Amino acid sequence: MTIFDLQRTREAARGSGADAAGSAFARELRSQVSHVRAEGRRRVESALGGRATPAKRLVRAFIDACAWADAWARRGLTSLFGAKAQGPKEEAGTPRPADVGRGAPAHAAEARPEGYLVSRVVGEEALREAPRPLTEDRLAPPEPPPPAPQPIERLGELPWAYDDDAFVALPRDPMTMWLFWDFSQETLAKAREGLEDPRVRLRVWDGENVVRELDLAIESRSFYVNELPSGRSYRGELVFVGRNGERRIGQASNQVHLPPVGPSPIIDDRFATIPWGLPLGPNLDLFAHGAPGPDISNLERQALRSASHPDLRLGASERATVRGGGSLSARLLSSSPGGPRDRDSE
Amino acid sequence: MTQGSVVIQLHAHLPFVRHPEHERFLEEDWLYEAITETYIPLVSRFERLADEEIPFRVSFTLTPPLVQMLRDELLQRRYGAHLDRLCELAEKELHRTRNEPRLHDTARFYHHHLNHTRWLWHERYRRDLVGAFRRLQDRGVVEIVTCGATHGFLPLMQTQPEAVRAQVRVAAAHYRLHFGRDPVGIWLPECGYYPGVEKFLSEEGIRYFFVDTHGILDATPRPRYGVFAPLYTPAGVAAFGRDPESSEQVWSAGTGYPGDPVYREFYRDIGYDLDYDYVRPYIQATGERKNTGFKYHRITGKGLDKDLYDWRAASRQADRHAGNFMFNREKQIEHLAMVMGDRRPVVVAPYDAELFGHWWFEGPVFLEMLIRKAAHDQKVFRLVAPSDYLRDNPTQQVATPPLCSWGAGGYAGVWLDGSNDWIYRHLHKCADLMIRLAADYQEPTDLERRVLNQAARELLLAQSSDWAFIMKTGTMVEYAVQRTKDHVLRFLRLEEQIRSGAIDEAWLSRVEGRDNLFPELDYRVYRP
């Protein structure tokens, strides 16, 4: 509990706009000081009795000084006398730089006082009874009890293999397919059985044609097949090849379609109209329902493609925003200037 | 009558990071910093514009993990404490800079900004930013679109359609729960599209999604209007393409606005610059330094020598840049409208929401000024949401985009390379097991149902594209690896326990308490 908390509470409670806040808060502070001084004197009276003594006068003077010094330090002389605080002059037409509104101080508070003189002298309870009592509990939800220590969750390590004979193909980019496999020892032994000096070969199929064939180590468990023609569908197959024959290992992979690159050679302008309120039905195929659109010249088509800047490879993936960096630190970005990198800078 | 439309699409996303087992956890700061620097500045500005009855529409993704975290009481409480620490530091900064007028001016600015943010958080929004966004949507100024349930990269799940459907269906259900209506649009995680995914979107009533530029330009058949009109996929869901020109003006390091020398320099932070003992209470609990958000320098130039920041000059520059952005969109749309004849062009400008405020500190000012200027200073275009455009322009060309993403290279290379490919063996296996569990357990007991639902949560969490992304980019890799391992291992243990009939209910309860997103989740979403 601090004076700082008190100030926060006041600021939240004020909420009457920045302009009027200066004088209102000055009145509030005078009231606060008056209360604190009275409380301090009451305690002095209680401790030292009713007789006026030099020591008592000294303590009273000290309490007064503390109360005013605290207020002075926090709000400044100007605020105490009701004048509106002036920040650096803002030019006409200056856009609002940040939030301006309730809760923010009428002007930024001046230097924070060293220590909390008032609360040290008369105690925080006195501040609670002040005209603007401490009410920070109202702002923050009640603190739940600290979490009970939990037993260590011993999850172990990931399995090295699942031995489930998986053989999966995934598309990486228009020219690259990635394959991973997880064959059991039984499957491997069965495929290897009877073959002399078998080696493992990967075959990549495009329909009925083998478009790539190469040796690899079965233990590698994955492989990137590069430089495939784009826009085609492929599947992988692993085989043991021996001097006396060959045998496939498990099943072939799934088929995967690599995306095409560049403008499609197909020009077939079909248009469909879907009123906004009309729900989309299941198994809808607009290609079967579309109608030709009005003619457009190749020149216009090309002009719109050029306007789309197909050459601009600007990667929004450099969403090197909150997630990427350590504690939001922008290690993903070049240090200067401050914007995110573009994709080509990778 | 305007000649065209501009869609400003802001994508707000953070991975689900919540660690109740630690009182302070570094990665939770991602959320806190984004709230302070991006979400509250944006939502408060949108509110102000709406209050002033300035006509505008902005499209805004709030991903399910982000919604879940913003609504989590533990994280809300912790953010309050985080904000208190920032305000305390702001007080100290006033004192520290009292004899240096230029620094002191910026310190006053931060003090003002943070105290106002605290008031907004506690008093105006009552710690519920999701509710604030929902109200903006209900007022018609923001269109909130959903995303994959945990931001899973769908093109790499396509061999398991049940897993893709679960990502979409769980997200749609979550959206209905929090926003009280069906989602009309989706931001496919990482703009990751593959032909066929639209049928899962259609099942949920979703009408549009976004793709990167080449997703439209390389579509089959060839598009007529470039990226300046959406395409209907065969299932009827529309694909909007990113306009590279408007993106470059904001994203590009070389020519983009955020690199202007006047703007605040991100990399100079008192968390690193000042005396250790002074900043010790505001850095990591472990004692390691970190960014505090108090930055006193401007970008200045390419050298290391940085001049002091002047927030007034930076705000004026953001105002000028907003004017420049608007002017360029006017000229762009005038040109396009001339070429496109009777069709009105739409320019789609998508950005990560966190760019505005967090990376580009003056970004929220830019957006506000852009909206004001677009409403009052021009008549060439309207700021619209994608649904507005489709409502007004229901006739579109039919074509199929290729597999694409907005990642480096444009495809799946960011999320599938030597640094992160090891995860897919495990993700594939877990999805396979989950699909079998959903099929095998038709009438589970209550306890079994809890296990099945939690297994689904663990799988979804493991599928988050953020982990692969972080592994690829090389920062915080250890955390991403650990998260992937933890979720996979929890899933495998749950699967093993339910299959063996030896369910550890105490451990299950702890896991439910920790990975507590999607309390409404029903594991049956994995049924074929």
Report the pLDDT value the prediction gives residue A277, as an integer from 0 to 100.
86
User: Do B490 and A155 count as a contact with CB atoms less than 8 A apart?
Assistant: yes
Kindly report the number of other CB atoms within 10 A of residue B432's CB atom. Answer: 18
Which residues of A, range 135-174, sit inside 8 Å of B by Cβ? 139-141, 143-144, 146-147, 150-151, 153, 155-159, 162, 164, 166, 168-174
Whether A91 has a pLDDT exceeding 50, the answer reads: no
User: Do A270 and B221 count as a contact with CB atoms less than 8 A apart?
Assistant: yes
Q: Which of A107, A153, A321 sits opposite B358 (nearest CB)?
A: A321
Please list the residues that pair with A177 across neighbouring strands. A171, A225
Structural contact between residues B503 and B448, judged by C-beta atoms closer than 8 angstroms: yes
Report the mean per-residue pLDDT for chain B.
96
What band does A321 get if pLDDT is binned at 50, 70 and 90?
A: very low
A6-20, B46-60, B449-463: the lowest-pLDDT one: A6-20
Torsion of CA B153, B156, B159, B165, to 10 degrees: 0
Whether A317 has a pLDDT exceeding 50, the answer reads: no
Whether B40 has a pLDDT exceeding 60, the answer reads: yes
Taking only the tens place, the pLDDT of each residue in A253-282 is 999 999 999 999 999 889 999 999 888 888
Choosing among A328, A331, A333, A346, which should be mutated to test the B contact, i.e. which has the most B CBs within 10 A? Answer: A328
Choosing among B42, B289, B384, B475, which should be mutated to test the A contact, i.e. which has the most A CBs within 10 A? Answer: B475
**Could you tell me which residue, A74 or B350, shows the higher pLDDT?**
B350
Report the pLDDT value the prediction gives residue A147, as an integer from 0 to 100.
60
Residue from A138, A141, A140, A136 nearest A8 by CA: A136
Average pLDDT rounded to a whole number, residues A322-327? 32
What band does B521 get if pLDDT is binned at 50, 70 and 90?
A: very high
Average pLDDT rounded to a whole number, residues B488-493? 98
Report the mean per-residue pLDDT for chain A.
67
Residue from B470, B487, B514 nearest B75 by CA: B514
Average pLDDT rounded to a whole number, residues A223-247? 97
Whether B401 has a pLDDT exceeding 50, the answer reads: yes
Q: How far apart, in whole angstroms, are the C-alpha atoms of residue B5 and residue B23?
A: 47
Average pLDDT rounded to a whole number, residues A103-111? 46
Report the pLDDT value the prediction gives residue A10, as an integer from 0 to 100.
36
Could you write out the DSSP letters of every residue in A111-178? PPPSS-HHHHHH-HHHHHTSSS---HHHHSPPPPPPPPPPPP-------S---S-EEEEEEEETTEEE
Residues of chain B with C-beta less than 8 angstroms from the C-beta of A331: 475
Please list the residues that pair with A210 across neighbouring strands. A205
What band does B1 get if pLDDT is binned at 50, 70 and 90?
A: confident
What are the start-end ranges of the E strands in B368-439? 381-383, 395-398
User: Do B425 and A261 count as a contact with CB atoms less than 8 A apart?
Assistant: no
Which residues of A, range 34-63, sit inside 8 Å of B by Cβ? none
What band does B333 get if pLDDT is binned at 50, 70 and 90?
A: very high
Choosing among A323, A332, A333, which should be mutated to test the B contact, i.e. which has the most B CBs within 10 A? Answer: A323
Whether B393 has a pLDDT exceeding 80, the answer reads: yes
What size, in residues, is chain A? 346
Cis peptide before A265 (omega within 30 of 0): no
Structural contact between residues B31 and B17, judged by C-beta atoms closer than 8 angstroms: yes
Average pLDDT rounded to a whole number, residues A160-189? 97
Q: How far apart, in whole angstroms, are the C-alpha atoms of residue B363 and residue B34?
A: 13
Structure tokens at B203: 């099942």
Average pLDDT rounded to a whole number, residues A193-210? 97
Average pLDDT rounded to a whole number, residues B329-348? 94
Report the pLDDT value the prediction gives residue A266, as an integer from 0 to 100.
92
Phi and psi at residue B274, to the nearest 5°: -95, 170
Radius of gyration of chain A (CA): 39
Report the pLDDT value the prediction gives residue A82, as an integer from 0 to 100.
39
Whether B225 has a pLDDT exceeding 80, the answer reads: yes
Whether B232 has a pLDDT exceeding 50, the answer reads: yes
User: Do A109 and B159 count as a contact with CB atoms less than 8 A apart?
Assistant: no
Lookup result for tokens 């976004």: B210
Report the pLDDT value the prediction gives residue A53, as an integer from 0 to 100.
65
Whether A112 has a pLDDT exceeding 90, the answer reads: no
Structure tokens at B39: 């979400």
Residue from B505, B259, B360 nearest B38 by CA: B360
Report the pLDDT value the prediction gives residue A345, as an integer from 0 to 100.
32
Q: Which of B301, B314, B416 sits opposite A178 (nearest CB)?
A: B416
Average pLDDT rounded to a whole number, residues A132-154? 57
Q: How far apart, in whole angstroms, are the C-alpha atoms of residue B36 and residue B369?
A: 20
What are the start-end ranges of the E strands in B130-256? 142-147, 185-187, 208-211, 231-232, 238-241
- Percent of chain B whose predicted confidence (pLDDT) is above 90: 94
What band does A59 get if pLDDT is binned at 50, 70 and 90?
A: low
What is the identity of the amino acid at B160? Q
Report the pLDDT value the prediction gives residue A302, as an integer from 0 to 100.
78
Structure tokens at B186: 């989706």
Q: Which of B284, B359, B411 sits opposite A340 (nearest CB)?
A: B359
Report the pLDDT value the prediction gives residue B23, as an integer from 0 to 100.
85
User: Do A320 and B473 count as a contact with CB atoms less than 8 A apart?
Assistant: yes
CA distance B247 to chain A (A): 8
> Residues of A195-214 as b/e, b for ≥16 C-beta within 10 angstroms?
beebebbbbbbeeeeeebee
User: Do B408 and A308 count as a contact with CB atoms less than 8 A apart?
Assistant: no
Q: Which of A105, A110, A272 sits opposite B396 (nearest CB)?
A: A272
Q: Which of B40, B303, B316 sits opposite A95 (nearest CB)?
A: B316
Pick the residue from chain A with its C-alpha nearest to B312. A97
What band does B335 get if pLDDT is binned at 50, 70 and 90?
A: very high
Structural contact between residues A177 and A204, judged by C-beta atoms closer than 8 angstroms: yes
Whether A137 has a pLDDT exceeding 80, the answer reads: no
Structural contact between residues B293 and B34, judged by C-beta atoms closer than 8 angstroms: no
What band does A30 get if pLDDT is binned at 50, 70 and 90?
A: low
Average pLDDT rounded to a whole number, residues A94-119? 43
CA distance A15 to chain B (A): 9
User: Do A266 and B221 count as a contact with CB atoms less than 8 A apart?
Assistant: yes
Residues of chain A with C-beta less than 8 angstroms from the C-beta of B350: 316
**Cβ partners under 8 Å of residue A288, min gap 6:** none
Torsion of CA B104, A12, A37, B91, to 10 degrees: -20
Phi and psi at residue A40, to the nearest 5°: -65, -45
User: Do B492 and A341 count as a contact with CB atoms less than 8 A apart?
Assistant: no
What band does A49 get if pLDDT is binned at 50, 70 and 90?
A: low
Average pLDDT rounded to a whole number, residues B1-27? 93
How much is the pTM?
0.81
Q: Which of A15, A96, A316 sits opposite B242 (nearest CB)?
A: A316
Whether A100 has a pLDDT exceeding 90, the answer reads: no
- The crossing angle, in degrees rounded to 10, of helices A18-48 and A54-80 is 180
Kindly report the number of other CB atoms within 10 A of residue A154's CB atom. Answer: 6
Structural contact between residues A182 and A168, judged by C-beta atoms closer than 8 angstroms: no
Taking only the tens place, the pLDDT of each residue in B83-106 is 999 999 999 999 999 999 999 999
Structural contact between residues B435 and B160, judged by C-beta atoms closer than 8 angstroms: yes
Residues of chain B with C-beta less than 8 angstroms from the C-beta of A156: 489
Neighbour order of strands in the sheet with A222-225: A166-173, A176-182, A222-225
Judged on CB neighbours under 10 Å (0-12, 13-18, 19+), B14 is buried
Which residues of A, range 186-245, sit inside 8 Å of B by Cβ? 221-222, 231
User: Do B316 and A15 count as a contact with CB atoms less than 8 A apart?
Assistant: no
Lookup result for tokens 């992160």: B420
CA distance B231 to chain A (A): 9
Structure tokens at B63: 């991903």
CA atoms within a 13 Å half-sphere pointing along the CA-CB vector of B93: 30
Average pLDDT rounded to a whole number, residues B298-303? 91
Residues of chain B with C-beta less than 8 angstroms from the C-beta of A279: 205
What band does A130 get if pLDDT is binned at 50, 70 and 90?
A: very low
Residue from B428, B421, B403, B242 nearest A175 by CA: B403
**Could you tell me which residue, A103 or B353, shows the higher pLDDT?**
B353
Structural contact between residues B260 and B266, judged by C-beta atoms closer than 8 angstroms: no
Whether B310 has a pLDDT exceeding 80, the answer reads: yes
**Could you tell me which residue, B278 or B23, shows the higher pLDDT?**
B278
Report the pLDDT value the prediction gives residue B413, as an integer from 0 to 100.
96
Taking only the tens place, the pLDDT of each residue in B158-199 is 999 999 999 999 999 999 999 999 999 999 999 999 999 999
User: Do A259 and B191 count as a contact with CB atoms less than 8 A apart?
Assistant: no
**Largest pairwise CA distance in chain A:** 119
A108-122, B281-295, B424-438: the lowest-pLDDT one: A108-122
Structure tokens at A272: 């469909």
User: Do A271 and B466 count as a contact with CB atoms less than 8 A apart?
Assistant: no
Pick the residue from chain A with its C-alpha nearest to B350. A316
Whether B237 has a pLDDT exceeding 60, the answer reads: yes
Which residues of A, range 243-282, sit inside 8 Å of B by Cβ? 254, 256-276, 279-282
Residue from A239, A163, A250 nearest A198 by CA: A239
Report the pLDDT value the prediction gives residue B345, as an integer from 0 to 100.
97
